[in-house]
Structure formats: structure tokens, C-alpha cells
Amino acid sequence: MIPVQGVEGQTVAVLGLGRSGLSAARALQAGGATAVCWDDNPAARASAEAQGYAIRDLSRAGAFDDVASLIVSPGIPHLYPEPNPVIAAAWEAGVPVDNDIGLFFRSFAAAGFDRFDSPPRVIAVTGSNGKSTTAALIHHLLQEAGRDSELAGNIGRGVLDIDMPGDGGAVVLELSSYQTDLARALTPDFAVFTNLSPDHLDRHGGMGGYFAAKRRLFAEGGPDRAIVGVDEIEGQYLANQLSEGPGDDRVIRVSAARKLSGPGWQVFARKGFLAEWRKGRQVASIDLRGIKGLPGAHNHQNACAAYAVLRCMGVAPKVIEQGLHSYGGLPHRSQLIAEVNGVQFVNDSKATNVDSALKALLAFDRIRWICGGLEKEGGLAALAPGLPHVAKAYVIGREAASFAMQLPGVEAEICTTMARAVKAAIADAQPGEVVLLAPAAASFDQYDNFEKRGEDFIACVRAELGQ
């Protein structure tokens, strides 16, 4: 646990009692504060009270009279589409609003760094797609290189629940826009921006607000080094804003779409090969084509970003290459779950938006594509470059018919349920093809979350294959 610093003797309110809220309450009390907690869900309140936390209705008049600050869980809107009433009440009372990420950054460096010869580094990863894989891959590579590493934030453990890494170790944080948007302190040693595509636009008031939330990770504290994906204009803008000139190697540009040039520090992937260039010269190269845990150009971008971080940590290219080959991938993200009679079965349930689904389609040559669900804003037109890779689509979800109508030139079968889609895809699949779940839609019309959808796909595949 990382006890929160600077709160001794204070009363601090916590809104939202999921994983991050309860973690914050524990760390606040470990730092000498009194945590008063609230959640609109009676079951969540009862569970917290049973664990010994004080419950206070933060919506009642005068609830903030003795409160020094309010800590908010990431799922609770604080600005768009409209502020949560409790947050609005804190504003009115002049009470600072923060989240567990802000508490972590203001407390981590004060937690006994004087005992380290080489203090642990904090690596923060954000972006629209690939941030979970990139963060997990960095964590894996560090461990394979013999470095102590903790994985937390939007993945792994609650950020305040982690143990302090050892000498020369690292904390790897995956941070969503919900987390970066509100944190009052953001001071990583190394910060990664993977890419940007439309997502969570209602929560951020549009694309500009969404990008602004991501940009805060780089603008608020100023990381020692920034690793920036430059395959979209937002990444190009961000890299330019952070750089003092063409040779400024504090900014490492990353691409999976083109060769990068110039006197600075670049890591890019072309035709399946990762290349590192510094000061106009190539210094390393890795063949990514045989790494099953990282299929496709989108995963090659993740590999480039992770590679750049490890190089910042002083790890040699050969050691990184060995770690890449032992990476097994994350559940629900280009996860190879079976290979039978020359047919691969890949679970990419995390492909909840069009951009991430397109990247999955481009990763394979001939696909039996299971898709559909709760369609997001913007339609499916952007999937067009990937549709020639689709042998046939098997559409699930309550609106399967309307989803299928937006796939021009693709043979589509309306299956509605996962079980029917998997059965039909297996019956049709030929050696060399991939049965791919990449929904290009949210899961909430049929499942509680994308994890449940992916688990159902895996269960259906195993049932059909008799595994």
C-alpha cells in the first residue's frame, strides 16, 4: 500500500466505492486521514460499512462542512454530460476534487525513496487503443529483464494498493481519459501516448475534450521522456509541442505505419520489423513477425512503444527481444485461444470501437468475423479498409440486422447470439482462416462488459471443439 501523504488529521470524502474508491479510502486512513464514504448503490455502501468505513450521505446539506477534499472514482462524470450532484456540491463548498491517481502521484515519491540507490520509475500509458497491451507488455519485459515491476491503474491492482518496487524497479500505470482528466498531480518519469480515435465523446464534450484529457498526462508534470505515437495528427501535434527541436531525444516518436527519419530518437515498425534509430542511424532491429502474442500492425505499434520505454530504462535490445517472444498477450485483446485443423480462434472482445476492430481485421488475411453489439456514435464506415479481409461476418447483438446492413460487399449471417455465431463460423471455416471476435461495438446490449462477452466466446468455441 502507498499511504497518502499530507492528509494527517483531515477528513476526506470518497465518492464511489468500487475498486479505486475503497483503495483510496484505505490509503487515506493509512496516511492518518478519516475517510467518509458514499455511493449511490446501497449494496456498495453496506459492503464498505461492513469493512469499517464511515458512511456519510454527501448529497445532504452541510456534508462538506468539515471535508478537506473529495476523491472521486473514475466512472463518475465530473463535467460532461453534466456534473454529478455531489461533485457540484463540493465545487460550491470550495472543496478540492481529486482522484486516486492524483493521490498516488503526490504520495509515491515521499514513500521512502532515500533508501534506494536507483529510485523506482513511474511509467504511465494512455491513448485510445493499445494502452492495456502496452502497459502489460512493459511490465512483462521489465520482469523478464530482472527488474521489479508493479502494474496498476486501469489494469492490474488499484494504484494505491501496490507494493513499493525495489531498487531500480518501476510502477507501470495504464491511465484512461477518465483518470487523467481529473487528477490534480500527474508526474510520471516516462509517459506513453499510443494513439487517438473517437471514444467516450459524451464524457469529454467531444473529440477536443477527449484529446485534452489525454494531453494532461504530458502537460501537467512534464515527464523526463515522452513516447508518442505519431500515426495520427494528434500525436504529431503532441510530439511537436513537447520537443525543443529535431534532435530533442526527450521525445521518442513511434509509428507502425511508416519509416521515421531525422536526427532525433525514433522507433517504428515496417513490414513486421521493429527498428530503432538515433541521431540518423539505425541502432537495433527486431523481427516481430513470429511473435504470436503481438499479431498485426496495431500490436507492432504497442511493441515499439514498450521497446522505447525499456530502452529509456537502460535495457539492451537483445534482452527486450527475448522478452517479446515470451509475451503471451492479454485476455480479450488479440488473444489466441485455440488452433485446430489450421484454423485459429482469436478473442479480441476489447475491440469495442471501430478503430480497434479495424486494426484487428487488418492483422489477418482471411477472417470469419464475429461482430456486432451496441453500436457507438459515428457508424461503421471507417471499417472499409478491413472488409476485404473478411470471408464472412457472423453478426450478434439485438440490432444485428441493422449492423449487418452497414457492411457493404460482405456476406453476413444474422446470428444474434454468440453460440449461433461460433457454431456457424466453425462450420464454414477453412484451414488458414481465422475465427475472430472483434465486435466493433459495446457489449452492454447482451453482456455486463467486454470481458463477459470474451469469456462467452471462449466457452462457445471450446464447447463446439469439444475441448
In a domain, 302, yes or no: yes
The dihedrals phi and psi of 161, each to the nearest 5 degrees, come to -90, -10
The DSSP secondary-structure symbol of 432 reads: T
From the annotation, which residues make up the binding site? 127-133
Residues in the chain, overall count: 467
Q: Mark whether 202 and 253 lie in a shared domain.
A: yes
Phi-psi category of residue 16: left, alpha or beta, with phi > 0 → left and psi -120 to 50 → alpha = left
Same domain membership, residue 421 and residue 355? yes
Are residues 344 and 441 part of one domain? yes
Low-confidence residues of the chain: pLDDT under 70: 111-113
Do the domain assignments include residue 106? no
Q: What is the pLDDT of residues 384-439, one digit of tens each?
A: 999 999 999 999 999 999 999 999 999 999 999 999 999 999 999 999 999 999 99
Is residue 392 located within the same domain as residue 414? yes
CA distance 217 to 348: 27
342 shares a domain with 318? no
107 within some domain: no
Query: 227 in helix, strand or coil?
Result: strand
Burial class for 280, CB neighbours closer than 10 Å (0-12, 13-18, 19+): exposed
Predicted local distance difference test score (pLDDT) of residue 177: 96
Does 431 lie in the same domain as 292?
A: no
Q: Please, are residues 153 and 173 in contact by the beta-carbon 8 Å criterion? A: yes
299 and 347 part of one domain: no
d(CA 371, CA 122): 37
Domain count, the chain: 3
Closest CA to 242 of 254, 233, 229, 251: 251
**Burial classification of residue 455, based on how many CB atoms lie within 10 Å of its CB (0-12 exposed, 13-18 middle, 19 or more buried):** middle
- Asked if residue 73 and residue 92 are part of one domain, the reply reads yes
The answer to whether residues 42 and 76 belong to one domain is yes
CATH code, 350? 3.90.190.20
Any idea what DSSP says for residue 446?
Answer: T
Residue 104 is assigned to a structural domain of this protein: no
Amino acid, single-letter form, for residue 396: I
For residue 221, the model assigns a pLDDT of 81
In a domain, 2, yes or no: no
In a domain, 434, yes or no: yes
| Inter-residue contact 411 to 393 (CB < 8 Å) | yes
Cite the annotated binding site for ATP by residue number.
127-133
Q: Tell whether 103 is covered by a domain.
A: no
Q: Order of strands across the sheet with 97-98?
A: 54-55, 34-38, 11-15, 69-72, 97-98
Residue 123 and residue 55 share a domain: no
Tell which of 64, 98, 132 closes a domain. Answer: 98
pLDDT for the residue 425 = 98
Task: Tell me the three cell numbers of residue 350.
Answer: 476489447
Domain limit, last residue, from 70, 98, 126: 98
Domain membership of residue 438 as a residue range: 335-462
Contact 255, 270 (CB under 8 A): no
Cell of 312: 529509456
Show the CA angle centred on residue 360, arms to residues 272 and 288, nearest 5°: 20
pLDDT at 329: 84
| Structural domain ending residue among the three candidates 98, 128, 152 | 98
Q: Cis before residue 81, ω within 30 degrees of 0?
A: yes
Cα 191 to the chain's mean position, in Å?
13
Sheet holding 343-347, edge to edge: 335-340, 343-347, 434-437, 367-371, 390-396, 412-416
Rg (CA), the chain: 23
The C-alpha atoms of residue 191 and residue 65 are separated, in whole angstroms, by: 37
Spatial contact of 24 and 15, defined as CB atoms under 8 Å apart: no
371 in the same domain as 222? no
The answer to whether residue 347 sits within a structural domain is: yes
Instruction: Give the CATH number for residue 48.
Output: 3.40.50.720
Would you say 184 and 135 are in contact if contact means Cβ atoms under 8 Å apart? no
Q: Do 340 and 321 sit in the same domain of this protein?
A: no
Place of cell 485510445: 128
Q: What cell numbers appear for 159 in the block?
A: 494504484
Beta bridge partners of 267: 254, 276
